[in-house]
Each structure stands twice: as C-alpha cells, then as structure tokens.
Amino acid sequence: MKYYGVAIRNLNRQKKRSFLLGGAIAFGILVVTLINSFSGSIITNVGENFSQLMAGHIFLTGHEKTSTGKTINVIREDKKIIDALRQNDLPIRYFHKRSAFSGYLIFEGESITQQITGVDWSREKFLKERLVIIKGSLEEMSDPRGIIVNQKVAEKLNIEIGETLLVQLKTVTDQYNVGEFRLVAVSYDPGIFASISAYANLSYVNELLNLKEGEYQTLGIFLSDIRLIDYTAEKIYKTLIQREVPLFPRTSSEEGEYFQSLSRDIRAQTWEDTKFRLFTLNDFLYQVRQMVNILNTIALVVLLILFLIIMIGITNTFRMVIYERTREIGTMRALGLQRKGVRNLFLMEALFLSLGGVLLGLLLSGLLMFILSRINFGMDTPMFIFLRQGHLTFAMDPVRLILNISIIAVLTLLAAFFPARKAAKMEPAQALGKYY
C-alpha cells in the first residue's frame, strides 16, 4: 500500500513530464476509442436505417417459374405463412405486404427512374410516422392512384400537387405497361435513397404489375428487437418447413455469397407453384460487418503502433528518471527497501501513469463523441446510412474497452520494466555516491 502513495507522489513531482507521457497515452486511447465506438454503432445504425428503408427485419418473397422458364416474383397464397407468424410465440411487432417496381416517372417530357413501392396504408403506421411530408397530405392517399414522391423527384419533373404523371414499367412477366398517378404529397428528400422513396397504393401497383387482387411480392416482418433477427428467422423457417411450405435453403448470412448463389439457383432450378425465400436484414449487412471488422482491426493496429512509439518514450523517460533518482534509490535501499520494492515502485508509477492517461483519454473521447454527435450531417449525405437521423452515434463494446486498457497497461509495464529492473539492481553504496 505504501508503494502506491510514493508512486503517485513521484508522478506529481514531475508534473510536466507525467502530463506529457500521460497525454501521449491519452491520445492513443482517444483515437482507438473513437474508431471502436464509431464502428460499434455502424451495425446498429445501418441495420435500423435499412430496416426503415426496406420496411422490415425479416422478409419473405415468392417465386414462380413460367412455362418458358422465366422466374416471376409473386406471393399468391400466404395463409400457411400468416398462420405460422401468428401462432408462434415470436417477437413480431407487425408485418405487412408490399409490391414494388422500378420504372420511369414521366411528366411533360421529363423522365426519371424511380422505384415505386405499393403499400397498404391502413397497415403501414410506421411508414406514416416516418415519412416527412413537405407538401400535400398523406390523407390524399385514399385516391387509389395517389403517389408520394420526394422533393428532388418533384423538382426534376417540375410537377405540382394534384397533377397527373405517367409511369412506364414492366409487369412481373416483363410486359410493358403504362399507368397514371396523381401526385398527392411530396416527402423530404432522403439523400442517397431518393431513388427508392416513392410510395403508392398496393392495389394500383399490383394492377400495374399485372397481379391479381390479394397478391403481392414481399412480406416484411418487423421485430420488437433488431438483435433477435437470426433467432426469429430460424424459428420461422423451421415452422414453415414443418407446415410444408416450399422454401429455398437458408444458408448462413456469414457466407456472404448467399444472394448471388441463390439467384443462380433460382435461375437454374425448376419447380411447381410458388417457392418461398426467407432472408433477413443481416444477410444484407454481411458486407457492413466485414467493414466493421476491418475498422476494428485498423483500430487495433493503430493502438499497437501508437503504443510502440509511446513505449519507447516511456522507456527513455524512466531511464532518465532512474538517473535522476539514483541517490534517492540508494537512500531507500540503504534504509532497507528490497530490490523487489524498488522495481515495484517504478512499475507502480508506470501503471498509474498509463491508467491516468487512459482515464484522460476516455474523458476526452467521451467529450469529443458528445460534440460530434451534436453535429447534424443531414440526410443528404453518402454517410447517411451510418448515421442516426443525420447524427453520428457511438457505442463502445465493454469487452473491447477492457482489452484496449489491458493492452495499454501491459505495454506500459513492459516499457518500464527494464529501467525498473536496472534501478532494482543498484547497490545502495554506489547509488548514494553518484552525482549527476
């Protein structure tokens, strides 16, 4: 216990030096914590942003083969699926049916490519809450041919509320079709996702796609907790298999090539009636996970490089400290302090120095994160997908934090160990006789 006090007193004696060394450690931990915390929030933010854009966490799509081998995307009969979703004890908040197509919106000679999603407005409460309407009204979607486009699209087409625009598309079987929409509302431009932010009535979108009443293309399932995606998907998949719903195999999202290989299978295979595909948000997020892993690896490499440099500084500083305190060491040794005691005293100093630096670094990184999270980067930025409502968010994994602190503590102790051992080996008489 007595070493602690002496170690802290010694650090206090050379405030400037301790502050500089501690500052270097603080800088290292600051950089690493920022990277780790940013990457920690990426998965959550990207997941939430995607779940909002795609309207769900788990998705089911139906696929049929035509007589000529063409694959069409349609769900005609979903009773078994809906029963399975309702009867199980699953963390499902709600689910909804959607159809969508990519087509050209045309108005007075101007044309723009846009994905138009057909939704059942009576069930899409979440979408209603999320859409920021600038002009017009969502209530007007009672018009079967009503459409909501974003600000940018409305400006490009130079169209006003109430005006009629054409849409050119292809049906599920690739036939050309042309429809008419009436613009009822203009929504806030969601930046890089502007091309997939037009919404219309499910019934009219189905009509344009040449689907019959009650048919649709995607069943989106929202869960109460985004972390339960894999667990719930697995459970739904097993239940559907038990109920003899024909399903494509569900390979792990970790394999990464899932979508490509499945598309190849769908093209190559033949089957009767409708075969379903179950996929989750995590299947899309595989590449994001890879990016997060790369970021965390970069953070670790940065930490190690920074601390190699800091270690050299610590070693040199402690060698200097030992020269300065040679007579003091001699006195302590003459008064009965054992070699182990001298070594531990210096190691204790190094440990406190690193812990002080870590604490300062964490405080500074916390402050910086707070300031950065207050900045509104807006929604019209390529970074949008990594942000939450246009703001940076940070989430530090406690295990990673403990790992970082441990690495710093071990490296600092290692850096101070050799000078400390040298100090411990000094003979009291010789040490007392040294003058610098």
Partner 1 sequence: MKAKFSLFHLIFFFAFLLSGYTEPNFKAILKEIDNMNNFKESDFSATYTIVSEKPGEQTSVMKIQMFRRDREDKFLMLILQPEVQKGQGYLRIEDNVWFYDPESRKFSHSSLKENIQDSEAKNSDFKVSSLSEDYDVTSWQEDKLGRYDVYVVELEAKHSEVSYPKLKLWIRKDMNQVLKVENYSLSGRLMRTALYPPSYIKLGNRYLPSKMLFIDELREGEKSQVTLTDASLSSLPDYVFTKSYLERVSR
Contact set with partner 1 (CB under 8 A): 66-68, 70, 106, 108-109, 111, 166, 168, 171, 173-179, 208, 210
Nearer to partner 1, 165 or 392 (CB): 165
Least Å distance, CB 169 to partner 1, is 9
Spatial separation of the C-alpha atoms in residues 133 and 148, rounded to whole Å: 9
Indicate the pairing of strand 218-223 with strand 92-107. antiparallel
Nearer to partner 1, 106 or 379 (CB): 106
Least Å distance, CB 104 to partner 1, is 8
Least Å distance, CB 172 to partner 1, is 8
Which residues have a Cβ under 8 Å from the Cβ of 390 and sit 6 or more positions away?
A: 376, 377, 378, 379, 381, 384
Spatial separation of the C-alpha atoms in residues 29 and 23, rounded to whole Å: 10
Spatial separation of the C-alpha atoms in residues 412 and 353, rounded to whole Å: 8
Nearer to partner 1, 66 or 389 (CB): 66
**CB-based contact 138:131 (threshold 8 Å):** yes
Least Å distance, CB 102 to partner 1, is 12
**CB-based contact 148:187 (threshold 8 Å):** yes
**Single-letter code of the amino acid located at 46:** V
**CB-based contact 98:220 (threshold 8 Å):** yes
DSSP structural state of residue 183: E
Least Å distance, CB 103 to partner 1, is 11
Nearer to partner 1, 80 or 170 (CB): 170
DSSP calls for 118-139: EE-TTT-HHHHHH--EEEE-GG
Residue 276 DSSP SS3: strand
Distance of CA 53 to the CA centre of its chain: 15
Helices (H) then strands (E): counts for the chain:
14, 11
Nearer to partner 1, 111 or 344 (CB): 111
Least Å distance, CB 64 to partner 1, is 12
Spatial separation of the C-alpha atoms in residues 98 and 339, rounded to whole Å: 76
User: Which segments of 243-397 does DSSP mark as H helices, in order?
Assistant: 258-268, 281-284, 286-324, 326-334, 339-374
Least Å distance, CB 195 to partner 1, is 17
Least Å distance, CB 180 to partner 1, is 9
Nearer to partner 1, 108 or 257 (CB): 108
